[in-house]
Amino acid sequence: MKTQFENSGLEAYVGELERGLHGLSETRRTEELTEIRQHLNASVAAHQEMGMGETEATEVAVRQFGAARLVSGDLQKALWREKRREKTRMPDTVAAAAFVTVAGSLALVHILAPLTSLLNDPSDVRTTLAFYVFWSVSCLMPRYLLAFLVGRLAPRNGVRGTLLGGWAYLIYSTVCLLVWVATQPGFHLPNGWWDIGGAIISKAIYGVAVVAAPTLAAWLGRRSAVRSAAEWSRTKIF
């Protein structure tokens, strides 16, 4: 009987599997392929004991095992499911936070612009609450979408990262706004109370949009990812 390394048919099949498992780490891929190669070798040997030649035994063993594309695809999905369930890793969380914070910068510009007009020219259409809310929400829509995607791609890290990024962005934008109000030429404390109070209230409303809504979006993304993983497990594996 030939050794595992001399059966070219089997090695060709294992090579095809290896290409299908390209997404795995080297260690993991080697471990998976070692186990599968042993299975196939045992299967070939068993068929040879039944009187088949090596080529025929290999063909039967490989056919019984299934198409390499399907096997590697199923394995990738099973290991992908494992990856999804890993505990939070700090670099991913920080990356998600940075991503969400930067993604919110566009909204910051639009928030500061109408507020500038609010303090300078109360008759400006951009000073209306409706306009303010419109910009607050519409500018954040892409952010909600991004948060959802982050949550879907990194279920655990997405929610935490979005929460962290949301708070970082809220604090950053609040400080920017208060600094801007305090440095206005006509700013005096008695008259400025109203502006500061308004800024705090508006920031509280804005905070919901900045922190709670993206976090909710990320959570929905996470739920979606976990559900699809569970659904896949039921239909494809279990």
List interacting residues with other proteins (CB under 8 A): 31-32, 34-36, 38-39, 42-43, 46, 64-67, 70-71, 74-75, 77-79, 81-82, 85, 233-238
Tell me how far, at minimum, the Cβ of 65 lies from other proteins, in Å: 5
Count other Cβ atoms within 10 Å, centred on residue 175. Answer: 10
Burial of 88 (0-12, 13-18, 19+ CB in 10 A): middle
- Measured CA to CA, the distance from residue 98 to residue 176 in angstroms comes to 18
Q: By C-beta, is 69 or 89 nearer to other proteins?
A: 69
Q: By C-beta, is 33 or 177 nearer to other proteins?
A: 33
Tell me how far, at minimum, the Cβ of 19 lies from other proteins, in Å: 15
Q: By C-beta, is 29 or 143 nearer to other proteins?
A: 29
Tell me how far, at minimum, the Cβ of 75 lies from other proteins, in Å: 5
Between the alpha carbon of residue 71 and those of residues 4, 10, 12, 179, the distances in Å are 20, 15, 15, 60
Question: Distance of alpha carbon 224 from its chain centroid, rounded?
Answer: 11
Q: By C-beta, is 41 or 174 nearer to other proteins?
A: 41
Q: By C-beta, is 35 or 124 nearer to other proteins?
A: 35
Tell me how far, at minimum, the Cβ of 151 lies from other proteins, in Å: 21
- Judge whether 98 and 165 are in contact, CB under 8 Å: yes
- Token representation of residue 150: 């982050």
- Token representation of residue 152: 């879907």
Tell me how far, at minimum, the Cβ of 92 lies from other proteins, in Å: 19
- Token representation of residue 154: 């990194």
Please name which of 68, 56, 11, 6 lies closest in space to residue 37, comparing C-alpha atoms.
Answer: 11
Q: What is the dihedral of CA 137, 141, 146, 152, to 10 degrees?
A: 100
Tell me how far, at minimum, the Cβ of 4 lies from other proteins, in Å: 8
Q: By C-beta, is 30 or 105 nearer to other proteins?
A: 30
